[in-house]
Structure formats: C-alpha cells, structure tokens
C-alpha cells in the first residue's frame, strides 16, 4: 500500500510505508494517510478479540501492512508488546469505560508508541542512525521514550513544556538516560509542536540529518490506535448486547479521535463520537459554530489535552473528504472547565470509590452529559496525576511500584528556548 499527504488530493506523490514512516510529516506539510482504507471482517474481528488483544491487533495490522511485513514476525512482536489487560469496566452510574492505561507507561500512548517502536525495527529503519523527534503535552513523550529506549541506531529527542506536566510524567522521560534526550522547553506544548514542524519544514537541515517524528502525526503511531476501538466495541457488545455505541474520546491533539474515525471507516459499526475537551475547546467550538479557530493553549489540570492547534484536525477533515459539514455531523462536542474536572474526580471517588485521572474525568463528564449507549476512553492511570487527585479528594492514589522506582532514579533534562535555531543545533549534535 502507498501513502499520501492529506494535502495531495490528486495522489501525485505516493510513498512506501518505510518512506512515509521515516519522513513523519509529508514534504508539503500534510499528514500521511493510506491510499485506501481496508475493510475488516467483523465476525473474524470479534472471534480474535475473544482470544486476545494481540491477536486482534495482528489481524488489523495485516490489513494495512501485510505487504510490508512478515505476518508471523509482526504477531510475535505484538504478542510481546500487548501483554497487558485492556478491560472494559463499569464506572459510576452504569457508565462503561475502556481502560487504556495498563501498559508499561500507564497511558493509552503505549498502544501506538510501542507499535511504532517494534515496526521500526522490522522495517530496518534504524540500520542507519535515526533521530526521532517528539513533542509531548504529557504522556506521548514517556510512551515514545519507553518504546525506543536502547533501540540500536535510534536517538530520541523529547520536547515538553517546562513546568506544565505532572511530576511522574516528567520522571518517565528524564530517568531513562541512554538514547533518550529530554528537552524542557520554555513555553507551551504548542511551542514544542511548532518547533518539530518547523524543523521538518527545513529541507536543507533534513538533508544533513535523518529525522522522523513519533507523535501521532506519524502514521505508525496513528493507525494502531484504531485497533482498540474494535476491542472496546467487542467487549461492549458482549457486556450489553447493544449495537452502534457512541464513543467518548478525551482529546488534545486529536490523533485518538482521528483513529476512531478511521476504525469506523474500516467497517466498525459505531454510532458516532463525542470530542471531549477541557477549556482548550478548539474542536468542540468548531462543531458548535462551524468555525475552526486555533489559538494559544491554556493550562489546565488535564495537561495532556492542553493543545490549541491540534495537528490531527487535518486528518479528521481528510476522513470526511475535506467536507467540514460532514465532520460536524459525525461528532458531538463537549467542553469541561477546570472546576467540572475537579468536581467529577471528587464525585467518582466519594460516591463510587473510583480514582480517575483528570483526562478520563473529562470523558466521564461528557458521557454523563451526552447520555447515549456506549463507552468512554480512560487514557491515563490515576497514579500519574496523584497530586491533582489528592488535592481534590484528600486521598492518596496508591503509587504503582514501577512508577515509584522511577522517582528514585536520577533525573536529567536540558533547557531549551522555544527557538528553531537552538533546537536544530541540539538535534545536529545528538
């Protein structure tokens, strides 16, 4: 299968998987998408979901990448990668959530970042030195750092906004060492993302240095996120006997929601989506008004959603044939202010004994407000946001042993001004 830029409507410049994955961002500034969207056999998908998440993921990955990888090699990698549970739970007043935070870094980003790390190895992409650039608003950086830690031939540069992520999120990036190079940027996530995009747009620099991205702009990060929608659907169907669930997606850079839209176009019978945001409500505002108005992000307790110019909005439009009204018809929007996030965290604990991280709390609040059959995605383990939860509930979230170990290790990061020249100088010398 070939891959094209979201801006290449004439399909004039196709790329192989290896080329698209290693470029990250298309030369014209667009995001790579597949030339066609394969259709899943839902009966087979439901049977494989009953075996394991890895079995289902192997089948779905083969629909896209069967011509690029040996299927047995892929399945071996996925069996090792997806060795953790992906449970659908009942929370609060009969609401279902798909818990996506039981992986190695306790966040949903493990699904895509781990997949990209394994497939990069199978592509032989690290045979020559490769620098992976990742801007993070919280969980992406730790998942990418874990997925590529000590991979031969790969250096990982992670940019995060200084003072705007949780302590444990920072520990997960700054305690690994080796080939992981964290940069704490004086600015916001939007500044971090801008630096990565500006470097990719610098063609002379890219001729001197082999770089790619592991943000959700990279199709090897984005496409595998579609697979857990299938798994959640199969579990929800088994639990309820219902059909066409509405999925509530806590959203920041919108790779997660764009992946759900991809799954739906693969034949997954979903009833639609709710784009659940904090006060950085660029997409819910667009759904409400028809006006897309990117703007500087605002800091909130749900820091991974503090994105004012979401990259994957372009993919969402592409999935709707470039028609904004079609996109608006597929989505509902929900905005949750800081007070509502804290109130939801408190209510879930006080009434139901359930700790929820701030992002998943936005999902629960949206699910309750929309009140349609379906489930919401829980995107991060509450232990990663213990400071926020304890300040609200007065109760301490038990710290997972693997996270506690990180807090005892030496931490290292370097400061960086939100300046392209300084960023390029750092990358050139990694």
Give catalytic residues, as residue numbers: 109
Q: How large is the greatest C-alpha to C-alpha distance in the chain, in angstroms?
A: 58
| Contact between 186 and 415 (Cβ < 8 Å) | yes
Residue carrying the six token digits 């993070």: 136
Distance between CA atoms of residues 319 and 317, nearest Å: 5
Distance between CA atoms of residues 216 and 31, nearest Å: 10
Tell me the torsion sign for CA atoms 301, 228, 244, 88: negative
The two structure tokens encoding residue 107 = 């966040």
- Residue 181: phi, psi to the nearest 5? -125, 95
277: closest CA among 155, 137, 420?
137
The two structure tokens encoding residue 150 = 């000590």
Q: If DSSP codes are grouped into helix, strand and coil, which group holds residue 45? A: helix
Q: At what angle do helices 53-65 and 227-240 cross, to 10 degrees?
A: 140
| Contact between 406 and 168 (Cβ < 8 Å) | yes
Distance between CA atoms of residues 212 and 196, nearest Å: 10
Residue carrying the six token digits 């001729």: 207
Tell me the torsion sign for CA atoms 251, 256, 262, 267: negative
Residues 6+ apart with CB under 8 A from 41: none
């Amino acid at each position: 299968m070939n891959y094209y830029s979201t801006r290449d409507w004439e399909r004039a410049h196709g790329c192989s998987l290896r080329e698209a994955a290693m470029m990250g961002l298309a030369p014209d500034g667009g995001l790579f998408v597949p030339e066609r969207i394969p259709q899943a056999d839902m009966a087979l998908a439901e049977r494989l979901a009953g075996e394991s998440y890895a079995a289902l993921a192997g089948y779905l990955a083969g629909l896209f990448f069967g011509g690029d990888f040996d299927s047995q090699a892929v399945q071996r990698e996925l069996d090792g990668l997806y060795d953790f549970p992906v449970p659908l739970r009942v929370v609060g007043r009969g609401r279902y959530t798909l818990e996506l935070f039981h992986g190695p870094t306790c966040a949903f980003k493990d699904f895509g970042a781990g997949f990209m790390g394994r497939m990069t190895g199978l592509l032989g992409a690290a045979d020559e030195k490769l620098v992976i650039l990742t801007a993070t608003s919280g969980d992406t950086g730790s998942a990418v750092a874990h997925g590529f830690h000590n991979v031969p031939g790969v250096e990982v540069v992670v940019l995060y906004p200084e003072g705007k992520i949780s302590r444990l999120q920072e520990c997960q990036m700054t305690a690994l060492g080796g080939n992981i190079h964290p940069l704490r940027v004086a600015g916001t996530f939007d500044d971090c993302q801008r630096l990565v995009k500006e470097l990719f747009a610098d063609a002379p620099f890219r001729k001197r240095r082999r770089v790619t991205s592991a943000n959700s702009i990279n199709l090897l990060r984005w496409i595998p996120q579609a697979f857990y929608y299938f798994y959640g659907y199969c579990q929800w169907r088994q639990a309820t006997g219902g059909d066409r669930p509405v999925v509530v997606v806590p959203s920041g850079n919108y790779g997660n929601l764009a992946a759900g839209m991809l799954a739906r176009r693969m034949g997954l019978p979903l009833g639609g989506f709710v784009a659940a945001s904090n006060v950085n409500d660029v997409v819910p505002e667009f759904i409400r008004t028809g006006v897309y108005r990117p703007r500087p992000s605002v800091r909130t307790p749900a820091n991974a959603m503090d994105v004012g110019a979401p990259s994957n909005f372009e993919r969402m439009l592409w999935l709707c044939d470039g028609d904004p009204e079609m996109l608006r018809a597929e989505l509902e929007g929900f905005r949750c202010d800081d007070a509502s996030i804290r109130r939801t965290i408190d209510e879930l604990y006080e009434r139901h004994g359930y700790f929820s991280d701030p992002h998943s709390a936005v999902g629960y609040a949206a699910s309750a407000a929309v009140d349609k059959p379906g489930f919401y995605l829980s995107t991060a383990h509450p232990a990663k946001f213990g400071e926020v939860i304890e300040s609200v509930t007065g109760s301490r979230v038990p710290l997972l042993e693997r996270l506690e170990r990180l807090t005892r290790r030496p931490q290292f990061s370097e400061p960086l001004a939100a300046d392209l020249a300084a960023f390029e100088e750092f990358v050139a010398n990694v």
